Chains A and B, each alone.
Chain A
């Protein structure tokens, strides 16, 4: 958690926002399935492919916390390398890639990378957002 509100002006391009750690456990998979239903192809110990955004967004939000309320997502790019499984500890890092004001809106791009406990690449993402303030 950051010590000060992460406003648009405070975002530093290329400056790491840190690393967020999360553990894939049965409870996490159960919470996901409570929203979407059973995994396509049947439930296993692996996180379903669609859980990528849940893992990445939870990390991103924590790494940018606190930030101004009311922001919006404009676009997202993902590369899914492999599905994490129960017992994996994931480490997601985030770095601001760009920011600019266009038509009165504060556009921000962040790049994230998620690795497992063996340092294997799990996910890569570029998140494009409209920062609230």
Chain B
């Protein structure tokens, strides 16, 4: 098996957040309304966590091919908010102690993990 999941990056602009809110039907003002978001514990607008999470599956498809995402598993935690104009990158490494699994993360431009977890591509040992 490959040792690495190829990195995939995305810049999280407010336009992209707005478009994603439309697709998912998620008008949560913490993503869209700067005045509302400023009053929350986040202290400002944060992107939808799944907007960045989806890069993990794109990276998996990039590495193994889209078919590897059929009958695949993913388990992640959101550990740090993503802010407007952050550039996030999904990547992963094979977990030698869990055959078939890859430890994955999405990190911001400072290298700080914003999402951590694991994936199991299709065909990998369960």
User: Interface size bucket, B side?
Assistant: 35 or more
User: Do the beta carbons of B58 and A74 come within 8 Å of each other?
Assistant: no
User: Do the beta carbons of B76 and A41 come within 8 Å of each other?
Assistant: no
Interface residues of A in 48-92 (CB under 8 A from B): 48-54, 57-58, 61-62, 69-83
Give bound CA distance, A61 to B28, whole Å. Answer: 10
Which B residues are within 8 Å of any A CB, using their own CB? 10, 16, 19-20, 22-26, 28-30, 36, 40, 48-51, 53-55, 57-58, 60-62, 65-66, 69-78, 117
Give bound CA distance, A46 to B61, whole Å. Answer: 13
Majority DSSP secondary structure for residues of B touching A = helix
Give bound CA distance, A83 to B22, whole Å. Answer: 22
Chain A residues contacting B58 (CB-CB under 8 Å) are 36, 40, 48-50
Chain A residues contacting B72 (CB-CB under 8 Å) are 49, 79-80
Give bound CA distance, A51 to B23, whole Å. Answer: 10
Q: How distant is B30 from chain A, measured CB to nearest CB, in Å?
A: 6
- Cβ-neighbour of A83 out of B10, B20, B23, B66 (below 8 A): B66
